[in-house]
Chain A
Amino acid sequence: MIRRKWITNIFYIPAILLFLFFVIYPFIEGIRISFTNWNGYSQQYKYIGMANYLKMFQDENILTALKNTLIYGVGSTIIQNVLGLSYAILLNTKMKGRTLIRTVVYAPVMISGLVMGYIMYFLVQYDGGALNDILTALGVAPIDWLSDGNRAVIIMTLINSIQYVGISMVIYLAGLQNISSQYYEAAAIDGVSGWQQFRYITVPLLIPAISSSVTLNLIGGLKLFDVIQALTKGGPGYASHSLSTLVANQYFQATNAGYSATIGLFSFVLIMILSNIVTTYFNKKEVYM
């Protein structure tokens, strides 16, 4: 009916130009750099074929970073969704003080992950840390929480989860409020128990919310960077690096830009594959009412 409507397509040209210049071009450049031994600043470098890729698949540190990235991603996702849904169910009752709970749980989302990391340092530091004060009061020897790589990874997963659980909470709360109470009334008349109502009414109707929340948490956890920089910088040694911090580390500390670009591409492919698997899974599960 309306002709020349395509003329409004000019509206997105600036955006496309930005993407081409600052995402697509660097992305392709990244592929090229990954085949070189560039150090990040020198004018001279050589093409070294697949050497960076071969190195990557034999590198112990990559294996650790990959394992950590999965723990950061999957661990945060599980904790945030279980806690977030529980909080949302609690807030969906008519109890007093709901707004206060929502405010306190959501407020840390506003804080930069880096600053949150530093705040948490006051809890986990060895000398005079808040956690160790409790241990001392209980007569237990204080623990150097971040000195062990595996423990540091778990602690940082917990910190990330507690900080961002508010996101899952508000997504689930919105989802719960969208479910018509008629379903529950009908189920109650049919004598369906509370757990079964949850399993057969709440969960299926929450699939869109679960899908959004899981995808967001997974991507957020897999990209984890700020907290690690604040607390361990990937240490002790390379034990708590994620792929993101390792990319930065290899470029700026190890001046190994070619290798860093290779790890960057690897982390990109990993996040793409995992988030696609999750999205496809939930799309199949979605019910239409």
Chain B
Amino acid sequence: MKKKNWWLYLLGLVIIVVHFIPIYILLGVAAKSSMDITSKWILPGYVEWNNFKEALNGGNMLLALKNTAIITVFSVFFVTVIGAFSAYPLARNRSRLNTVVKSFILGIMMIPGLSVLVPLYSTMVKIHGISTYWGIIVVLVTFNLPMSIFLFSNFIAGIPVALEEAAFIDGCNPIQTFFKIILPQLKPVVASVVILTGVGCWNDYQFSLYFLQSPQYRTIPLAVASYFSQTANNMNAAAASALLGVLPVLLLFIFLQKYFIKGMVDSAIK
């Protein structure tokens, strides 16, 4: 038995090495000075802090961090609240109308955001939503909502109805029942929704690229992108900006891994 195991560990090691390469290369490039022309496989024996300083000042990463944080927090808040409310009647009132509404919402999950780019963009121009916080938040909320409603309604459908019936008998109306009985039980699924939506909004590029055109509203992906396309001569500072941009989510992931993976699995399997 023991003898058979060594190749499993070898395989495991190969997988770890292969998947770690991108982060390894990024760390190396971000730490190197732009004068250093050693191979990207070699980690430097020093850290060129100027790369980070330049990314923070020249690349305006602090502003980008602030913008991304504001957009992410508000989007996640609305996606979670509107999602939880919408899911309750869909999970509990099985009427013909609600079946239609539910399949309508699940259908929206399929629509790729970019396929409506032209008309969505021209709509946002009409209502003056381009390059505003609320404009991008509304778009992100709309396109993240279906997944949130899907997760909440699956979860609520799994809660036994007995408690609600008891509440009704005690004189609660349906709306009070939702607030007093259902809402307190939603904690685990709230964690999943917050994490999934949070990562999605933090990393969004396809909407932000078009709906946030003014530099003062630049988010992290936009800041990294403009860095990479402008400063071809200082790739090391660009790498530092990329590292600064991914660090917050990576750290969160390492500490809250269990919840991240649970959220992913819940959203995928019915």
Contact = CB atoms under 8 A, between A and B. Distances in A.
B116 A170 contact: no
A110 B5 contact: no
B16 A101 contact: yes
Contact of A40 (B22, B98, B118): B118
A11 B178 contact: yes
Contact of A93 (B8, B97, B142): B8
A interface majority secondary structure: helix
A116 B242 CA distance: 9
A57 interface: no
B45 interface: no
Interface residues of B, number: 94
Contacts of A71: none
B115 A265 contact: yes
Contacts of B93: 5-6, 8-9
Contacts of A18: 82, 138, 141-142, 145
Contacts of B83: 15
B160 interface: no
B22 A15 contact: no
A110 B23 contact: no
B110 A97 contact: no
Contact of A122 (B5, B95, B239): B239
Given A130-B41, A171-B265, 6 more contacts: A7-B175, A101-B12, A112-B220, A118-B228, A162-B19, A212-B269
B118 A112 contact: no
B118 A11 contact: no
B142 A244 contact: no
Interface string B160-193: 0000010010000111001000000000000000
A128 interface: yes
A195 interface: no
B127 to A, nearest CB: 9
A247 B15 CA distance: 36
Contacts of B110: 219, 271-272, 275
B35 interface: no
Interface stretch (A25-33, A59-67, A138-146): A25-33
Given A119-B26, A264-B114, A267-B114, A170 B92 contact: no
B89 interface: yes
Given A122-B29, A252-B210, A19 B117 contact: no
B120 interface: yes
A27 B86 contact: no
A40 B95 CA distance: 43
A209 B266 CA distance: 11
Contact of A29 (B119, B145, B224, B265): B119
Interface in B82-113: 82-83, 85-86, 88-90, 92-93, 95, 97-98, 101, 104-105, 108, 110-112
B242 A248 contact: no
Given A90-B8, A110-B253, A130-B41, A27 B111 contact: yes
B156 to A, nearest CB: 11
